[in-house]
Amino acid sequence: MTLATSPQAPEIFSAAAFFADQGPPAPELFPAGAPVWEGLRGLKDWLEQWHYPAWTHKLGVADGPLPKTMVIYRPEQGSGPATAPVTVIPGEECEITYGSADKGALQVSRGGELLDGASVLMAGTVIMGRRFELGRGVLVESGAFLKEPLVIGDHCEIRQGAYLRGHCLIGRRCVVGHVTEVKHTIFCDDAKAGHFAYLGDSILGPGVNLGAGTKLANLRFAAGEVRIRYPGGQINSGLKKLGAVLGAGCQTGCNAVTNPGTLLGRGSVIMPNTTAPAGYHPPRTMIRQAP
């Protein structure tokens, strides 16, 4: 195959084609006319330029595990960088109902007053660095490892044993699950990787759900940049590391694996115990293990 110059390529690889009208958490990462993986190319710079609030300085821990549960409370928060004062409250001063954060069921009260939108870092959460943004109503469970820089949107749940290795952007109502490793990755709103997953240099579209044990591989055995095969030929991503891009509503079954440079159109499914071939797969594709 030769490198494609087909006019079809920009359209099928656009962010709009993968996310529809639901949109990514940071639209500026996905300029019109650029292929969707350009969001990953610009992610590090975007996170480096983010205005991070100073609440991490109030935790009493520079790098390491939190000795006790802490509540992060900001009375109001807009859609941009936080400007309202942040209060850090020891958890023992609060009454905490540990409902599912992604469903808005996490509740925190203090002295009978509801602290609407308060987030909770449970004792044993490991913090590495200072550059963190935490949205409203976020729950981070004991044993999660958070490495800077990291932006987490409203009502997310970061479960026990999750490993966020830095340069991650997590949208709203997302789940990063038990023993799930995430590196240089974007979660759009309502994306969930609940159990035993690996996500490297990848993008989960809105409403994506990864079955337990899903692995999104990001590095080819052969040296060189990742090229994307599609019906018109192939196109060079320009990236040496590129995992998977899953369009809105995609699902993977348990123990599914994607090869580097796998792009799934909206509503696609990878069946359990199946390895998805690299390249572009159009919307509503079902990938199953060969008989």
Are 46 and 72 part of one and the same domain? Answer: no
- Do 236 and 249 belong together in one domain? yes
- Is 15:37 a contact under the CB 8 Å cutoff? no
Residue 46 lies in a domain: yes
Q: Which residues in the chain come in under a pLDDT of 70?
A: 1-9, 76-84, 291
What confidence tens digit (pLDDT) does each residue in 125-137 have?
A: 999 999 999 999 9
- Give, in order, the Cα–Cα distances in Å from 4 to each of 9, 229, 265: 8, 9, 19
> Range of 221's domain?
8-50+149-287
pLDDT at residue 3, as a whole number: 39
- Give Cα separations from 69 to 61, 76, 210, 238 (angstroms): 12, 22, 29, 43
Asked if 18 and 162 sit in the same domain, the reply is yes
Q: Same domain for 45 and 71?
A: no
Last-in-domain residue among 65, 95, 126: 126
Residues 192 and 205 grouped into a single domain: yes
119 in the same domain as 217: no
What percentage of the chain exceeds 70 in pLDDT? 93
Same domain membership, residue 171 and residue 235:
yes
For 154-189, write each residue's pLDDT tens digit.
999 999 999 999 999 999 999 999 999 999 999 999
CATH assignment at residue 28: 2.160.10.10
Domain shared by 116 and 162, yes or no: no
Q: Is residue 3 in a domain?
A: no
* pLDDT value, residue 84: 64
Domain-embedded: residue 111: yes
Tokens representing residue 138 in the block: 């976020």
Residues 96, 154, single domain; the answer is: no
The answer to the question of residue 234 being in a domain is yes
In the chain, the number of structural domains is 2
pLDDT of residue 23: 81
pLDDT for residue 83 = 55
pLDDT at 283: 97
Let me know whether 109 and 42 are in one domain: no
Is 142 within a domain?
A: no
Query: Among the three residues 126, 157, 185, which one is the final residue of a domain in this structure?
Result: 126
The Cα 191–Cα 157 span in angstroms is 11
Q: Does residue 256 sit in the same domain as residue 159? A: yes
Q: Would 140 be classed as within a structural domain?
A: no
Distance CA 60, CA 55 (A): 10
199 and 279 in a common domain: yes
Asked if the structure places residue 25 within a domain, the reply is yes
Q: Is 131 inside any structural domain? A: no
* Residue 62 CB neighbours (<10 A): 11
> What pLDDT shows up at residue 291?
67
